[in-house]
């Protein structure tokens, strides 16, 4: 295990790439996490806005918990650790959602 120091406290993980924990020792449970209570617990607060990668078999899954989320969210699964890290460091741009009018759709 290695220790990763964050501004909210330490995270222990099997590995780390550019500040991203790989297989961390104690990520938040996947049950309900009260967003208000979270700020009282350093063990949970350390994970807010801190993505991590969980490796299982042939898959690497990115998890993230936002300030108002009640449980960690999956950002996706990747075949390689490098692919997952690249996604965290350089996420794809969000495309604008444009609603077309009925006139534009009638051709």
pLDDT of amino acid 86: 95
Mean pLDDT of 10-22: 94
Alpha carbons 70 and 10: distance in angstroms, whole number: 22
pLDDT of amino acid 71: 82
pLDDT of amino acid 12: 94
Per-residue pLDDT tens over the stretch 31-60: 666 666 655 666 677 888 899 999 998 999
Per-residue pLDDT tens over the stretch 69-101: 888 899 999 999 999 999 999 988 765 566 666
Alpha helices in the chain (DSSP H): 35-38, 42-45, 81-89, 102-105
Please, which pLDDT band fits residue 67 given cuts at 50, 70 and 90? Answer: confident
Give Rg (Cα) of the chain. Answer: 17
The H-or-E segment that residue 73 falls in is strand 73-78
Alpha carbons 81 and 84: distance in angstroms, whole number: 5
């Amino acid at each position: 295990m290695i220790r990763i120091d964050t501004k909210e406290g330490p995270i222990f993980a099997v590995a780390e790439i550019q500040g991203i924990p790989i297989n961390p020792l104690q990520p938040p449970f996947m049950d309900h996490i009260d967003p208000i209570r979270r700020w009282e617990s350093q063990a949970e607060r350390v994970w807010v806005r801190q993505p991590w990668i969980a490796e299982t078999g042939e898959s690497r899954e990115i998890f993230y918990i936002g300030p108002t989320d009640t449980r960690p969210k999956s950002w996706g699964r990747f075949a390689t650790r490098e692919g997952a890290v690249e996604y965290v460091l350089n996420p794809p741009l969000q495309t604008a959602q444009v609603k077309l009018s009925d006139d534009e759709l009638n051709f």
